[in-house]
Structure 1
Amino acid sequence: MDHGALQTKPAYCTLVNKSDNSKYVCYSHTKAGSFNIGLTNASEVWSKDFTEDMLAEHGKNVALKSAEDYISKIRSTCGNGSASVTVQEDGAVLQLGVSPGSVSVTLPRLSDLEGREELRDLLFRMADSLKLAETTGGPSSFSPGKSQFRRNAGFEPRSQQTGPTVVAKKRLPGDSLINPGSRKKKPATGVAFDDNDDL
């Protein structure tokens, strides 16, 4: 494995387990010289640290050479719905993809105290990641599964005109619809002849 293969930015994605529609947040980050892959359903946490040697050994069978390769695999499988979780008594198996080419990672369950600390740290890392994305204007490392927050251009508000605007005049009663500004002509009523005028 290349030198520095563990160095990577934190990454997050959501995962919906097709078997029971349960939702998870799958995350990864570098801490204390190891690459961590974690999973939580907001009440329980499963997590595993990989040293460079462990990652290299695990990646031999699945052709993943670095932490970035793992992150890419996690994001793509969460995004296309091919990731799944099998919860066991003392851990969880994260299945990334379908055979052939699938990757299976067993994550031990953290104790309640460790889980609370990990959830707190995860929350602050996600907040820092979002803040960094806002200040730099770049994409955040949060990647929701199935593109839940993708904007649809058909429903975006129309941009406002920057040129002069024309204000329509209010039509007064009797004004012509075809030729605005001119009054409607009243129909002819005829001429009234008075017999008394001839006398």
Structure 2
Amino acid sequence: MAEPAGPFHLLRARTGRFLCYCGRDGAVYVTDAVEVWAGELGACLALGCRCSPEEHGAMLRAALGHGGAALSLGPGSATLRLPEEPRCPALALAQLPAAEARSQLQALIFGMAGRIESLERRLEVAVETLASSCSPEKNAVQSQQLFLPDPSPRKSRASSSALPAKRKVPGESLINPGFKSKKVSSGVNFEDS
């Protein structure tokens, strides 16, 4: 039972979705959560391919990372194709027997559950660290700054200097500031209409 080492990538094929991952034993695994196919890194289908498992693992991770891998299934086997990699264009995968597939799926599920548990613990520690690094007074001031509107609408938030508010001068036009009316406004006369 090989522990999964990751990274984990989802592959889509005509028949559905598959999870592809690397094991700590240097093998590549593909599963649809019912059946499991496995192949050794460096065991390429291309004749004359002499990739080391490290080189092939890097190529596989790169191809899976940007969606450049394709899976084709056959009876009892599968082929993981890496069309963008001319040195190792494909990896042969053999279908595991039912008992071995069951133990591999069990290792995958518990391995992923362990990773999730570890990530949750690390997240809790990070949240506690962030919460303790800010004092309650700082938190209250920051939350007020985030949710309360600025009390001075004329003050520009982007600039550090605030412009003084312009005063309205009696008789000055609202549409054309700086222009003073020559006659005193007397209001609207509705009787002449």
The TM-score by the shorter chain falls in which range? 0.5 to 0.7
Aligned match for 1:100, one of 77, 86, 89: 86
Corresponding residue SS for 1:75 = helix
**Whole-angstrom CA distance in 1 between matches of 2:53 and 2:73:** 26
Equivalent position of 2:118 in the other structure: 132
- Most deviating of 20-29 and 128-137: 128-137
Q: Please list, as runs of the form range in 1=range in 2, the aligned pairs for 1:1-199 lying within 5 A after superposition.
A: 9-17=5-13, 20=14, 22-30=16-24, 34-48=25-39, 50=40, 61-62=48-49, 64-67=51-54, 69-98=55-84, 100-136=86-122, 162=145, 165=148
**Whole-angstrom CA distance in 1 between matches of 2:83 and 2:143:** 45
Question: CA RMSD, aligned part only?
Answer: 3.9
Corresponding residue SS for 1:114 = helix
**Whole-angstrom CA distance in 1 between matches of 2:87 and 2:26:** 21
**Whole-angstrom CA distance in 2 between matches of 1:73 and 1:131:** 29
Corresponding residue SS for 2:148 = coil
In structure 1, stretches of 5+ residues that fail to align are 1-7, 138-158, 169-199
**Whole-angstrom CA distance in 1 between matches of 2:19 and 2:144:** 42
Residues 20 and 29, structure 2, Cα contact 8 Å, conserved in 1:
yes
Change (3 A) 1:117 1:71: same
Residues 62 and 103, structure 1, Cα contact 8 Å, conserved in 2:
no
- CA positional deviation for 1:82: 1.8
TM-score (norm 2): 0.53
- Which residue identity does 1:42 align to in structure 2? A
**Whole-angstrom CA distance in 1 between matches of 2:104 and 2:19:** 13
- Which residue identity does 1:165 align to in structure 2? L
**Whole-angstrom CA distance in 1 between matches of 2:82 and 2:7:** 15
- CA positional deviation for 1:60: 10
Q: Give a deviation string over 1:159-196, Cα, whole Å, max 9, x none.
A: 9554683599xxxxxxxxxxxxxxxxxxxxxxxxxxxx
**Whole-angstrom CA distance in 2 between matches of 1:47 and 1:161:** 56
TM-score (norm 1): 0.52
Residues 71 and 80, structure 2, Cα contact 8 Å, conserved in 1:
yes
Corresponding residue SS for 2:26 = strand
- Which residue identity does 2:106 align to in structure 1? R
Equivalent position of 1:3 in the other structure: none
Residues 14 and 23, structure 1, Cα contact 8 Å, conserved in 2:
yes
